[in-house]
Amino acid sequence: MLDKIKIHSSKIMAQLQDIRAVGLLIFGVIVILVTWSGIGAIETNYSLQKQINSLKQQNQLQSLQNNNLSLQNQYYNTNEYLELQDRQIFGKGLPGEKLILVPESVALAQLTTIPSNNTFTITTPPPKPAYQANFEAWVNFFFHRNS
């Protein structure tokens, strides 16, 4: 057994002394290092691209909010808004308009009740056979779905 190990180790030493084998080994190490470096660069670019996309979305959201606020400010400067506020806060109206106050009891007496014959019932689906539930559980497990 010891002789086999010595013969095997001498073969390996002879191969390592050959310049072609050493060159191939060095080439393999360089290929592995370049591949590892490329994967690291790709991962870094991916994470930076995710950050850029997130910031772009935040920027778009902020610009939409700014546009919404500018439109709201334009509405607040219109005569219609000012007239509505005068009516609501100060009780003012246009010339010739009359204010009619209706007692609450009279207004509520004019309401009609809507028949509620459109009732909805929530039904649960019938239980699935055991083999179907088992199959769906395995599919959900493999595709990382939450049921």
Which runs of consecutive H residues, i.e. helices, occur in 77-129?
79-85, 104-109
The number of beta carbons lying within 10 Å of the beta carbon of residue 102 is 9
Summarised one tens digit per residue, pLDDT across range 22-71 is 888 899 999 999 999 999 999 999 999 999 999 999 999 999 999 999 99
C-beta of residue 140 within 8 angstroms of C-beta of residue 147: yes
Instruction: Tell me the C-alpha distance between 144 and 119, whole Å.
Output: 38
Q: What is the mean pLDDT of residues 102-125?
A: 79
pTM recorded for the entire structure: 0.43
Question: Of 46-55, 96-105, 124-133, 138-147, which has the strongest mean pLDDT?
Answer: 46-55
pLDDT category, 147, cuts 50, 70, 90?
low
Which residue do the tokens 């030493």 mark?
Answer: 13
Identify the pLDDT of residue 37: 93
Rounded Cα distance between 64 and 57, Å, is: 11
> Residue 22 contacts by C-beta under 8 Å, 6 or more apart in sequence?
16
